[in-house]
Amino acid sequence: MGETKRSNRQLSNRRRSGSQLVEFALVIPIFLIVLFGICQYALLFWAYITIRTASAIGARQAIISPGNVALITTASKNAVNAPPLFDSNQCTVVVNTNVTSGTLITSIQVKYPFKILVPYVIPPFKGGTSMIKTVTATTVVQ
Enumerate the domain spans of the chain.
Answer: 2-141
Nearest-angstrom CA–CA distance, 53 and 79: 7
> Across the chain, what does the average pLDDT equal?
82
C-alpha distance from residue 137 to each of 63, 91, 121, 128 (Å) = 18, 12, 22, 26
How many residues make up the chain in this entry? Answer: 142
Work out whether strand 103-115 and strand 132-141 pair parallel, antiparallel, or are unpaired: antiparallel
Residues 79-115 have pLDDT tens digits of 887 667 788 788 889 998 887 777 788 899 999 998 8
Identify the burial level of 78 via C-beta atoms within 10 angstroms of its C-beta, where 0-12 means exposed, 13-18 middle and 19 or more buried.
Answer: middle
Residue bearing the bigger pLDDT, 24 or 18: 24
Highest mean pLDDT among 16-30, 34-48, 85-99, 109-123: 34-48
Highest mean pLDDT among 3-12, 44-53, 85-94, 101-110: 44-53
Nearest to 37 by CA among 108, 96, 120: 120
Burial annotation 92-130 (CB, 10 A radius, 16+ → b, else e): ebebeeeeeeeeeebbbbbbbebebebeebbeeeeeeee
- pLDDT at 67 (0 to 100): 80
Residue 12, SS3 per DSSP: helix
Average of pLDDT values for 59-72? 88
